[in-house]
Amino acid sequence: MPPRSSPPGGPDPRATRDRDEIRSGDSPEERDFAEFYAATHRAATGQVYAMIGNWHEAQEAVQEAYARALGRWQQVSTYEDPLAWVRTVAYRVSVSRWRKTRRMLFGTDHDVVVPAPMETHVELVAGLQKLPAAQREALVLHYLADLPVAQIAAQLGVPEGTVKARLSRGRAAMATLLGDGDDRG
């Protein structure tokens, strides 16, 4: 099994509980997926949340992406970075207007209502939403997913210089946005 991205922010304190959801009758493949889910899903949700600015939408999209990954885990598990696959699928799911419309109409597929992260991060996430999507994506992958520039470039299919430029512009914009926020405070 190739190495996988580990979540930023230290070890997942709830991973043990998630692993408890592994069932005795699970196949090795299902157990492998469960381990992957336990290790990565919170990080994935945080990254998609930072990208789209809506916690519940992010959770919904990430759960949906993991469900798709589970359906083709034999293939996805061979990828160099399955979390990148999940993150990409989740982001695409979240920006699909069709799904947005449906969720708006029918509510979420989610069986559990969970709270959004603390208000202290609202300003950060709101600031990210004001950036062009490409800059936002670069910042999220670099600072939240802890990916080096080269890996971001590979994932996005753009030259490293492009990633660096996006990071530079994004940082400058965020400095202004967050600085303005501090001034208000």
The residue ranges that bind other proteins (CB under 8 A) are: 7-10, 12-14, 18, 21-22, 34, 37-38, 41-43, 45-46, 49-50, 59, 62-64, 66-68, 70-71, 96-98, 101-102, 104-106, 109-112, 114-115, 117-118, 120-121, 124-125, 139, 143-144, 171-172, 174-175, 178-179
Task: Give the nearer residue to other proteins in terms of CB position, either 103 or 153.
Answer: 103
Q: Looking at beta carbons only, is 2 or 120 nearer to other proteins?
A: 120
Nearer Cβ to other proteins (1/98): 98
Residue with Cβ nearer other proteins (34 or 153): 34
Residue 84 or 144 having the CB closest to other proteins: 144
In the complex, the smallest distance separating the C-beta of residue 12 from other proteins, rounded to whole angstroms, is 6
Nearest-angstrom CA–CA distance, 109 and 90 = 14
Q: How far is the CB of 2 from other proteins (least distance, A)?
A: 21
The CB-of-157 to other proteins minimum distance in angstroms stands at 20
